[in-house]
Amino acid sequence: MTQNAILTKWKFVIEFEDDQTREISGIIGEAETYEECEGSIEDQLQYHRSCGRTVFNAEAWEVCARCDGEGLIPSGNDGRVICDACGGHFGSISPVIRLTGRFSPMFVY
């Protein structure tokens, strides 16, 4: 049996609350590699802390780079077909990674 590697990328979300207004907001980002994702999240955590915001959630997940984890890709005449890169896999390729506690740069499963 032959296995082909799936080309993947990482997506992440960070949610935070403004300490003065109590407004809840968030950002979504993506990175090509796990290491780049980890670095981007740490940069965002530091930035939002410096702006007077409390980060209460940070998550990352790995998805197929071709279909963005949708399992389908565009086809002619506004149709969609199963992604040939991941075989139609929907969602994250690996478990969702959540940062917990003090939001250190290391991911916690």
Which pLDDT score is estimated for 107? Answer: 45
- pTM beyond 0.75: the answer is yes
Domain boundaries, the chain: 8-98
Task: List, for the chain, all residue ranges whose pLDDT scores fall below the cut of 50.
Answer: 1-2, 102-109
Compute CA distances 46 → 1, 10, 39, 67, 78, whole Å.
46, 20, 11, 31, 42
How far apart, in whole angstroms, are the C-alpha atoms of residue 57 and residue 43?
15
Identify residue 26 by its one-letter amino acid code.
G
Which pLDDT score is estimated for 100? Answer: 58
Which pLDDT score is estimated for 4? Answer: 59
Which pLDDT score is estimated for 41? Answer: 94
Which pLDDT score is estimated for 73? Answer: 93
